[in-house]
Amino acid sequence: MKIIILAGGYGTRLYPLTLDIPKALLPIGRRVLLDFIIDKVRPFNTKVYVVTNNKFYSKIGEWAGNVQGVNIEVVNDNTNSPEERLGAIGDIKFILDKKGIEEDVLILGSDNIFDWELEGFVKFSSDKNAFCMGAYDIKDLNLAKRFGTVKIDSSSRIVDMREKPEFPESSLIAACIYYFPKSRMFLLDKYMQGNLDRDASGKFIEWVYKKESAFGYVFSGVWLDIGHKDSLEEANSKFGGLR
């Protein structure tokens, strides 16, 4: 298994904080967001690819050079502006092709911060040998409007997904944690050939579950998506004291 961390965005919703610094390197206490993600993938002892853009490539590369005990490679997707961005799905495909990755992959958004471990999710996903995604009950239908919502059945199979619904029917949301099995990766190629929406990674899973079984793994604990200034403040409050 290899690990991909998505850091190719431009953080426009957090301007001016992210005009000159990537969202992935925003400070949380004495650390930065990516430090918390790296802590969660250390136990897997495998290669970690961080995909970013040309604007922030050097800054993330400098950060990676100071990380001890993890084999990190920062990859430039060669975009220079929000208008050029490849999107999450585009970046996943880009790095799989550029690095010739032919293994299962664990994929994480760099703007998530959470307090749970990932070993249970990886075992669950490996046993299913299917596309799997992390889900989290945000317990607030109004807040769920900001995210992609998901419904799963008693066997954890995904039965419905909606991207930022106006009237959410579920407070279970996609947490930007994915497992793509090597054996089913051909479906990503097929999606890329026929779909122009390559931004939200959940859009791909939404497409997949209508064709074959895909599964959701429900995490419990503290989770925040650093997409708004209020969530950045909350992250500093809840995680800023950790080292």
Give tens-digit pLDDT for 46-82.
999 999 999 999 999 999 999 999 999 999 999 998 8
Spatial distance between the Cα atoms of 19 and 192, rounded to a whole number of angstroms: 30
In a domain, 74, yes or no: yes
Q: Is residue 123 part of a domain?
A: no
Q: Per-residue confidence of the chain (243 residues) as pLDDT tens digits?
A: 999 999 998 877 778 877 889 999 999 888 999 999 999 999 999 999 999 999 999 999 999 999 999 999 999 999 998 888 888 999 999 999 999 999 999 999 998 899 999 999 999 999 999 999 999 999 989 888 888 899 999 999 999 998 888 888 889 999 999 999 999 999 999 998 876 667 777 789 999 999 999 999 999 999 988 877 777 877 888 787 655
Range of the domain at 40: 1-115
- CA–CA dist 17, 32 (Å, integer): 14
Domain membership flag for residue 109: yes
Asked if 194 and 181 touch (Cβ cutoff 8 Å), the reply is no
Q: Note whether residue 2 is domain-resident.
A: yes
Residue 47 in any domain: the answer is yes
Number of domains in the chain: 1
Nearest to 185 by CA among 217, 151, 208, 216: 208
CB burial class (10 A; 0-12, 13-18, 19+) of residue 211?
A: exposed
Q: Is residue 122 part of a domain?
A: no
Tokens standing for residue 51: 């995909």
> What separation in angstroms does the CA of 189 have from each of 5, 17, 231?
20, 35, 34
pLDDT, tens digit (0-9, with 9 covering 90-100), for 7-31: 998 877 778 877 889 999 999 888 9
CATH of the domain at 47: 3.90.550.10
Tell me whether residue 32 is in a domain.
Answer: yes
Q: Could you tell me if residue 7 is inside a domain?
A: yes
Residue 231 is predicted with a pLDDT of 78
